[in-house]
A and B are shown apart, each in its own frame.
Chain A
Amino acid sequence: AQSVAQPEDQVNVAEGNPLTVKCTYSVSGNPYLFWYVQYPNRGLQFLLKYITGDNLVKGSYGFEAEFNKSQTSCHLKKPSALVSDSALYFCAVRDLASGGSYIPTFGRGTSLIVHP
């Protein structure tokens, strides 16, 4: 079974400050983890994914994710936030146990608000 949690409904950060959007997961085997961003009235856009290897994954628009197996987390980070980063962010997981799930499980989403 696979599940994912985004513990914060909303994250507020000042422009120029670092940002973190949290994601924790639960799987039976090893995880594949994905981050997506959704701007208003748009579909989801892929940001980055953790498959294996390096625990720090770099993605689009200056975002990166830090995977931590012992804490079963994969938090999304950016060193310096922009107002244009304000959007809804989704974490998704696939469990590789039993051949892997073709259907990822998505978190409820975290609304990121970057203040000028």
Chain B
Amino acid sequence: GAGVSQSPSNKVTEKGKDVELRCDPISGHTALYWYRQRLGQGLEFLIYFQGNSAPDKSGLPSDRFSAERTGESVSTLTIQRTQQEDSAVYLCASSPTAQTYNEQFFGPGTRLTVL
């Protein structure tokens, strides 16, 4: 079956512009995560959605970052007034349920470059 998809695969923008990144999780997966991966670094947690529960936004680095999810489907991550330090690969992952023993299924990522 189809895996997690993300769009666009690459995004180049100018400092100060807003960007919107999209994630389509695997159908039926209730848990969805966003991560940021800076060059040569590990994964930085941003936000977590589980079904219709309130999202865990504890990893969002500033109020310029926000994310939404419609039910148990598509999610969008929005970065307003982008800064050069926002340049990174943004990864989305989904899991079948919120159970802690579930592994995550990752999308290919969106590479964001802020000029």
Describe A's contact surface by its main secondary structure. Answer: loop
Provided the pairs A43-B91, A44-B91, A90-B43 are in contact, do residues A104 and B101 lie with their beta carbons within 8 angstroms?
Answer: no
Shortest beta-carbon distance, A19 to chain B, in Å?
20
B35, B59, B104, B109: most-surrounded residue (chain A CB, <10 A):
B104
Instruction: Determine the chain B residues whose CB is within 8 A of the CB of A96 once the complex forms.
Output: 100
| Contact between A45 and B101, CB atoms less than 8 A apart | no
Chain A contacts to B: CB under 8 angstroms: 32, 34, 36, 41-46, 49, 51, 90, 94, 96, 100-109
**Complex CA distance for A88 and B95, rounded to whole angstroms:** 22
**Complex CA distance for A90 and B4, rounded to whole angstroms:** 19
| Contact between A102 and B43, CB atoms less than 8 A apart | no
| Contact between A103 and B101, CB atoms less than 8 A apart | no
CB-nearest residue of chain B relative to A101? B100
A36, A46, A51, A102: most-surrounded residue (chain B CB, <10 A):
A102
CB-nearest residue of chain A relative to B97? A102
Shortest beta-carbon distance, A49 to chain B, in Å?
6
**In this assembly, does B42 line the interface, its C-beta being within 8 Å of a C-beta of chain A?**
yes
Among residues 56 to 100 in chain B, which have CB atoms less than 8 Å away from a CB atom of chain A?
A: 56, 59, 91, 93, 98, 100
**Complex CA distance for A109 and B31, rounded to whole angstroms:** 23
**Complex CA distance for A104 and B98, rounded to whole angstroms:** 11
Instruction: Determine the chain B residues whose CB is within 8 A of the CB of A42 once the complex forms.
Output: 108-109
